[in-house]
Amino acid sequence: MTTPIDATATPAWAELTAHKNVFAPDLRAWFDADPGRVERLTFDLADLRVDLSKNLVDAGILTSLVALAEQTGVAERYAAMLAGTHINTTEDRAVLHTALRRPAGAEPKLVVDGQDVDHDVQGVLDAMSAFAERVRSGEWTGITGKKVQTVVNIGIGGSDLGPAMISAALEPYATAGIQARFVSNIDPFDLAHKTADLDPETTLFIVASKTFTTLETLTNARLARDWLWAGLQNADAIDGSEAQRTDAVAHHFVAVSTALDKVAAFGIDTANAFGFWDWVGGRYSVDSAIGLSLMLELGPDSFRELLAGFHAVDEHVATTPLASNVPVLMGLLNVWYTNFLGAQSHAVLPYAQQLSRFAAYLQQLTMESNGKSVRWDGSPVTTDTGEVFWGEPGTNGQHAFYQLIHQGTRLIPADFIAFANPAYPLKDGERDVHGLFLANFLAQTKALAFGKTAAEVEAEGTTGALVAARTFAGNRPTTSIFAPALTPTVLGELIALYEHITFTQGVIWGINSFDQWGVELGKQLALQIAPAIEGDDDAYASQDASTRALLDYYRTHRQG
Ligand code: F6P
């Protein structure tokens, strides 16, 4: 295991500390004095135009940030990841989500730990495509011979968030009359609500779980199976015999997992299962078989376009010098804000209603990856890690929380994401509504960067205490990401961008961004507390006083 380099002990860190000590950001002055700033800080990353010019950095700070990436070995660790080194040290695993989107026939071939990775990845993609074509064409049917109309993905975390986010984002590409739904929560409302209007005869369930041990997913899968059997029996489609129930599962359930033995134990024929591998982390798994629901809904071609988008960004990271490597630069900016300017959160604000789940997706990607207090060798971290990621689409957010970003006391760096072309071009009279939408995106980034001085407020006739209230300090950092349209390729590029931003920050902090031990304790305790909920007095007595009091409340209020 390589020892992590302590970023705080590097010369670059000392330089950045010195910059910070005399830091007086003034975006207005910087833009006025430097006509080349926008061009110098704007990059094309595949189809994405990324404008970093409204960030709180000058040339000296940027040079020191790039030096920090050099001195902490970001490029070397990226190369180690691509090559299949076991950089997930606590689980002794390679980290190879980038292999999932290598094009067929890529050279040189990737063989890791004796596995022909390219061969296996393409094999599963081909099997997924063939299955998707059968379902989409109507060749694969439910037990009564009806074409599948709804695919219900049952999974949670990485086995839910990516497909759910992309399904919403690429809804205009769902052209085969198949709609995907996503059940994740063990709250029984989720399954009940999402199946309430479905016809069991035209519904296909995908049980998606890397481990196939996750309590929520297996519980929901059993509930879904009961729902299917009951519905088919009510419709006289099956008689309830064991043989017909098994047949019903064979027609209406498929699985995605790395644990095909457990899939079989659940009762799903492994001929109807799609595998992946332990070197795909859950939150990096959307372009593995975990994306099966997307293949069914959007079709194999769109899915492969999505993968091509991911790959274009992987290539950029692998081949571009650090000083113009966009994900690396964005990761470095986050380090600057987090470790030097005290930012605790980061907003991601898509000007695209279709990206309504993008922030939720990024929360798992970034926070499960970099919410760590120890480094990859087990030693404590030497600086703050993992900021809180959050967001909502504009313009909704403008009417909710933007006030705090504009005039609050906390620094909140924000990424704005927008598309030149809408999915649905609508006109309000003569006015292009999408144009109006984009005017808001541009207005917000402008207001945040340049603010409004007291003199400007007074020049409009405002006087007294209102002047201060109406003044905007500006110098609120934003990155603008603009793309032609929200296509599968562009979405793949966007997701890969954030994967590699996360990676960059993780390397600088010396942490393993690919494990998630922090979620284990709660899972164990839930299993210990469940018997107490069900009335076991010993389990009740072994709880702490607060938990016992909450159990008391439950026992007195639960009806039935
Ligand atoms: O509990 C966290 C987690 O392990 C995530 O990392 C993962 O994406 C999710 O649970 C679901 O896990 P699985 O795909 O094994 O059901």
- pLDDT per residue over 140-157, tens digit each? 999 999 999 999 999 999
Q: Indicate if ligand 1 lies below 6 Å from the C-beta of 4.
A: no
Whether the full predicted model's pTM is greater than 0.95, yes or no, is yes
Q: Is the pLDDT of residue 542 over 90?
A: yes
Confidence bin at 560 (pLDDT 50/70/90): confident
Query: Phi and psi dihedrals of 99, rounded to 5?
Result: -70, -20
Q: Which amino acid is present at 369?
A: S
Q: What is the number of other CB atoms lying within 10 angstroms of the CB of residue 116?
A: 13
Confidence bin at 1 (pLDDT 50/70/90): confident
For a pocket test of ligand 1, which of 154, 156, 213, 288 has the largest count of ligand atoms closer than 8 A to its C-beta? 156
Residue nearest to atom 10 of ligand 1 (CA): 157
How high is the pLDDT of residue 2? Answer: 84
- pLDDT per residue over 96-124, tens digit each? 999 999 999 999 999 999 999 999 999 99
Do the Cβ atoms of 470 and 334 come closer than 8 Å?
Answer: no
Confidence bin at 430 (pLDDT 50/70/90): very high
Residue nearest to atom 6 of ligand 1 (CA): 282
How big is the CA angle at 326 (ends 302 and 515), to the nearest 5 degrees? 75
ipTM of the complex: 0.98
Rounded CA-CA distance 529/539 in Å is 7
**Tokens read off for 149:** 């109309």
Residues sharing a CB contact under 8 Å with residue 128, sequence separation 6 or more, in sequence order: 274, 289, 291, 292, 295, 300, 303
Taking residues 20-39, report their average pLDDT. Answer: 97
Q: Indicate if ligand 1 lies below 6 Å from the C-beta of 214.
A: yes
Residue nearest to atom 3 of ligand 1 (CA): 157
Q: Is the pLDDT of residue 52 over 90?
A: yes
Q: Is the pLDDT of residue 89 over 80?
A: yes
Q: Indicate if ligand 1 lies below 6 Å from the C-beta of 367.
A: no
Residue nearest to atom 9 of ligand 1 (CA): 157
- Cα→Cα distances 307→235, 277, 356, 501, Å: 41, 17, 21, 18
Taking residues 177-191, report their average pLDDT. Answer: 97
Q: Indicate if ligand 1 lies below 6 Å from the C-beta of 516.
A: yes
| Closest of 128, 152, 57 to residue 413, by C-alpha | 57
Structural element, H or E, at residue 428: strand 427-428
Q: Indicate if ligand 1 lies below 6 Å from the C-beta of 219.
A: no
61 conformational bin, left if phi > 0, alpha if psi -120 to 50, beta if neither: alpha
How high is the pLDDT of residue 12? Answer: 98
The residues annotated with a catalytic role in the active site are 368, 399, 523
Q: Indicate if ligand 1 lies below 6 Å from the C-beta of 211.
A: yes
For a pocket test of ligand 1, which of 519, 521, 525 has the largest count of ligand atoms closer than 8 A to its C-beta? 519
Q: Indicate if ligand 1 lies below 6 Å from the C-beta of 504.
A: no
Rounded CA-CA distance 380/192 in Å is 44
